[in-house]
Amino acid sequence: MRCSNCGVCCTETEMLLSKKDIQRLEHKGHPPRRFVRYDKEGYATLKNSGGYCVFYDPPAMRCSVYADRPMGCRVYPVIVDEETGIILDTICCARHSISKAEKTLKGKRVVRLLEIIDSEAAERRS
């Protein structure tokens, strides 16, 4: 994919986080209280600040933790639509640069990631 760094996907993000995502960022010196929000269902999501993901730098138009970004960000713009399955998010202007093979591979990853995240949220609710 050829990301344009436009920041649209980082605007008012609701990106889900796995325990591994949180641990990876924490080990890089980012305290979870700075970037994690838990909803009432037990899901962990990235926090926003100033309308963007806390890690997006609008003036520089880049992610400040790109090398360590969450898995959901890595597979984006491939997402799961509950009605149609694996799709490319229409808000991404670079979605046309994703090959069919890349969409298939990232689709498998996003499905597995959602299974993990659902399981982790269920554990938090217990």
Mind listing the pLDDT tens digit for each residue in 6-48? 999 999 999 999 999 999 999 999 999 999 999 999 999 999 9
**Contact present, 74 and 63 (Cβ < 8 Å):** no
Mind listing the pLDDT tens digit for each residue in 51-100? 999 999 999 999 999 999 999 999 999 999 999 999 999 999 999 999 99
pTM given for the model: 0.92
Distances (CA, A) of 19 to 68, 94, 96, 99: 13, 28, 31, 29
More confident residue, 111 or 3: 111
What pLDDT does 5 receive?
86
The model's confidence at residue 1, banded by pLDDT at 50, 70 and 90, is confident
